[in-house]
Structure 1
């Protein structure tokens, strides 16, 4: 029996969370096809369905998936109850904003989220790093550097929050519950990937490089020397 952990599937994530919902909202929410309400429900069912599939496959739900589910749920509520589009912009900003707050508090309580993400025991030999830091008396310096990196991680979500708000204000102007609202919502979903997701991933990559350099500087270990053999 294989003990290998299920891997992420970036292509499927993009297809089910971005491409298909956007395409359906922009092309099939008119009265001659699915209609406004059914078109929205069908489009939103894809990211929800993928979140359920991923949970069944990995047997766990991560924080981002939970926030993603509530994001989809709130978007559907705003559209179906025909609330002001201002609420959509607020909702788009609130999800990454709440994550930023969570990241900051994780650092305050001594359990920085970035350590859980980048110092993952399934990826690197964390004990080897900590033992070396203790031997060299550099643990305090390491904690300070990781706390700084955690603040930078929070800033990436602040960036996402601001960009989400601006993108929603820029692209979604039609009243909720209309065909144009669905089309604009689909356009916004599509644009969020190159405008927000890719820059955010590049920032995370930069943080990974920073943390690996800190580890090498303080312990002398290269990242490849710490990787767990899969």
Structure 2
């Protein structure tokens, strides 16, 4: 009978134990880079439109094509990477295509102003309309499993009979979200009317379009983001009050 060396046996078993351990890194989804998002969607298109629209560079038409290709390709890359259609990425892609189409066809700048106002305006209307369906959009924007432990919240609300009060809370939060979209719609239209003064198809129009792209993220994004944050804080405050749970107990476990 052959004797087994305990040290050798332990050494042989060790790699097997390590191979059974799950690799956490492979299961982690890659996070989107905020810097890359800002560069590709704002900074690079703005620089191309404002600096390369002259006849000595790309010219007015090609400057628009190249500038808008960056956010368009970035949206398509996001679709390929995630393997599913992201509603907001799709909306951004449509917006880019409309801007490019209107500019290349040399339509009146009024159409761009209408387009800029229409997209957030439609989102606001959709948010309000979704309250009368089984899938309110507030659950997509704020009340979802990525942010909150919705299963625990629903269980506690059912136990203490506060489901009706919580539904009213979701309605109030929905109106706040819709209000942020309507504000964005109004500011988009005003900004486009103020900044797009030159005829489409000219170098001056491209420069104005580039500047509008850059300015809009400060003028429009900041107040809209503030309203959305207020809606989130309101929702968290009401959930804590209606469930009796602490804030850390209702947050989704990452």
If the TM-score is normalised by the length of the shorter chain, which range does it land in? over 0.9
Mapping of residues 3-22 of structure 1, within 5 Å: 3-22=27-46
Deviation at 1:123, TM superposition (A): 3.3
Gaps of 5+ in 1: none
Gaps of 5+ in 2: 1-22
- Number of the residue aligned with 1:136: 160
2:86 to 44, 50, 62: 62
1:108 to 125, 132, 146: 132
Mapping of residues 1-230 of structure 1, within 5 Å: 2-230=26-254
Query: For residues 104 and 205 of structure 1, what CA distance do their matches in structure 2 show?
Result: 18
Q: Which has the greater radius of gyration?
A: 2
- The answer (yes or no) to whether the contact 1:80–1:177 under 8 Å persists in 2 is yes
Give TM-score, length-normalised by structure 1.
0.95
Deviation at 1:131, TM superposition (A): 0.5
The Cα offsets for residues 116-170 of structure 1, whole Å up to 9 and x where unpaired, read as 2222213322110001001000000000111111011011000000000000000
Deviation at 1:105, TM superposition (A): 1.3
- The answer (yes or no) to whether the contact 1:5–1:58 under 8 Å persists in 2 is no
- The answer (yes or no) to whether the contact 2:149–2:253 under 8 Å persists in 1 is no
- The answer (yes or no) to whether the contact 1:106–1:112 under 8 Å persists in 2 is yes
Superposed CA RMSD in Å reads 1.3
Give TM-score, length-normalised by structure 2.
0.87
- The answer (yes or no) to whether the contact 1:6–1:57 under 8 Å persists in 2 is no
1:44 aligned counterpart, secondary structure = helix
Structure number with greater CO (CA < 8 Å, separation at least 6) is 1
The Cα offsets for residues 83-117 of structure 1, whole Å up to 9 and x where unpaired, read as 01111111110111111111111112142211222
- The runs of at least 4 consecutive aligned structure 1 residues that moved more than 3 Å come to none
